[in-house]
Amino acid sequence: MTDTTAKGGSGVPRSTGGTPQTKVSDLPRRAVTRSAKLAALPIGFAGRTALGLGKRIGGKSAEIVAQEIQERTAEQIFKVLGELKGGAMKLGQALSIFEAALPPEVVGPYRATLTKLQDAAPPLPAATVHKVLTEQLGDDWRANFQSFEDLPTAAASIGQVHKAVWHDGRTVAVKIQYPGAGKALLSDFTQLARLGKLFGVLLPGLDIKAVLSELRERIVEELDYLREAEAQHAFAQEFKDDPDFLVPDVIAANEQILVSEWVDGIPLSRIIADGTKEERDRAGLQFVRFLFCSPARVGMLHADPHPGNFRIAEDGRMCVLDFGAVNRMPNGYPPVFGILTRIFNQGDMETVIRGLRDEGFILPHIEVDPEALRAFLAPYVEPTAVEEFTFSREWLQRQAATATDLRPGNVVRQLNLPVSYVLIHRVHAAGVGVLCQLGATARFRDEVIRWVPGFTGEDPDAEPTEDAIAS
C-alpha cells in the first residue's frame, strides 16, 4: 500500500481479487427476498384501487376514496423502504419531500425504523473484516498498520469505520465497504424503477423515473471509495489551516477501502443534546457556512449533512466527515437560486412561479396555488429575509403543517424535483432539520449574501437571468 501525496491521488493498488462471499446480517440482500418486498407494493396498490372503486359505488366521494388510497399506499411504501437497507433506504432519505406531504401518523413508523437502522447497524464480525482486508490489500495487509481495532467505531448502510495506527505512527480511520453492498444497492434501484406509477399516485407532479436515475448514478459514485477519496482530498486541501473547518485528509484508498487521518471531537449530536446556547449557535452558523461556501471554494457540495458527519474539535473548528455523497458544482450555486430567493422575499410569486417552471420544478401541465407555494417554500427562504434568525422545532412544525394533507391540490404533491437539484434539495431539507434540532440563532442571511450569486442583485452576470425570468 502506498501513501497518497498528489492532489486527488490514492495510493492503494486496485484489488484484483473477487468480492468476498461472506454474508452480512445487516443487509437483507438476498435477491428473492428483496424483490418480493418491493414487488408487493404495486400488488397492494392494485388491491386498494379496486377496494376504492367498490367504496365509490357504495356512495363515498371520489376525493375521500382517493385520499384513503393515497394514505394506505404511502403507509406501505414507507414500511417497505424502512425494512430495506440499501437503495430503497437511500430513496427514502433523498425524497424527504414525501415526509412534508404526508401526515405524521403515516411517516412516523418509517422515521422510527430508519433511525433504528442508522443507529444500530450490526457490525461485521472480525473474521469477515479480516477477509475483506485480505481480498483488498493482500495477505500482508497487517504490514500497513502498527495496530488495528477489530471493533468498528461506526457502522452504516454501505460500510463501517475502524480505528487503527498507520505504519508511520499516525492514528487513522479505516473505512471498509460491506461485501456485496454495491450489488444490493443497485438491485434495489432496479426494482424501484418499476414502481413509477405507484409513486405518481402520491406525487403526480414528480418525474420519479428521472429522480431514480439520478440517485442511481450518485449511489454508483458513493460505492467507489476512490471517488470519495478524491473529493475528501479536495476538501482537505481547500480547508487546510482554515479557522472554521477541519477536514481529515486521505492517506490511501482503493475502490472499497479508504484510510484517512483520525480526528477527535464532540459529535454534533451531543452539541444538539447537551450544548450551551452559545455552542449551538456557533455550530449552526459553522454548519450553514460550510454548506454554502463549499460549492464556491471547492466546486462541490457535501450531500449528506446529518449530525453524525460533523463534530466540534477541541480548537472550536467544525470537523466534517464522509464525502461519499457530493454534488459536483464547479460553478458554485446557480445564480437563479439566489435570484428566485430574493424575488420570493420581495413578494413577487408570479415571477417565482415562472422561474420555477423554467428550472423544471413545475411541469407544464401542472398548475399551483401561489399562496400554497409560498407557504411550502417559507422554511427554506424565510431565514434569508431577516438579519438574524432562530431555527426551532416548533417553527418547522408550524411551517410543515401547511403541507401535511393529501388533497389533490396540496402543492407539495404538484412539484417536480429536477435531477440537477436532487442532491441540493436533499442537503437543504436535511440542513433545515439539523438547524432546528440545534435551535440555532445567527446571521444566516450574511452567509447567503456572501456565497450565493444573484441574491443581492449586484451580480452583473445574474441580472440578465432575472430579466429573462420576468419577461
Q: Which pLDDT score, from 0 to 100, does residue 38 have? A: 37
Q: Which residue has the higher pLDDT, 401 or 46?
A: 401
Average pLDDT of span 421-433: 84
pLDDT band at 195 (very low <50, low <70, confident <90, very high): low
Average pLDDT of span 77-103: 51
Cβ 175 vs Cβ 324: under 8 Å:
no
Q: Which of 7-11, 100-104, 137-141 has the lowest mean pLDDT?
A: 7-11
Q: Which pLDDT score, from 0 to 100, does residue 87 have? A: 53
Q: Which pLDDT score, from 0 to 100, does residue 9 have? A: 37
What is the rounded distance in angstroms from the CA atom of residue 278 to the CA atom of residue 393?
18
- Mean pLDDT, all residues of the chain: 75
Q: Which pLDDT score, from 0 to 100, does residue 221 have? A: 84
Residue carrying C-alpha cell 461485501: 179
pLDDT at 112 over 70: no
Could you report the per-residue pLDDT of 308-360, keeping only the tens digit for each? 899 999 999 999 999 998 999 999 999 998 999 999 999 999 999 999 999 99
Q: Which pLDDT score, from 0 to 100, does residue 15 have? A: 36
CB atoms within 10 A of CB 353: 19
Could you report the per-residue pLDDT of 365-390, keeping only the tens digit for each? 888 989 888 888 887 798 999 999 99
In order, the DSSP letters of 414-468 are H----GGGHHHHHHHHHHHHHHHHHT-EE-HHHHHHHHSTTSSS--TTTHHHHHH
> Taking the model in full, what pTM does it have?
0.74
pLDDT at 129 over 60: yes
Q: Which residue has the higher pLDDT, 4 or 443?
A: 443
Cβ 355 vs Cβ 343: under 8 Å:
yes
pLDDT at 16 over 50: no
pLDDT band at 181 (very low <50, low <70, confident <90, very high): confident
Q: Which pLDDT score, from 0 to 100, does residue 471 have? A: 39
pLDDT at 267 over 80: yes
Could you report the per-residue pLDDT of 282-293, keeping only the tens digit for each? 999 999 999 999
Q: Which residue has the higher pLDDT, 312 or 156?
A: 312
pLDDT band at 470 (very low <50, low <70, confident <90, very high): very low
Phi and psi angles of residue 384, each rounded to the nearest 5 degrees, phi first: -90, -5
Cβ 103 vs Cβ 404: under 8 Å:
yes
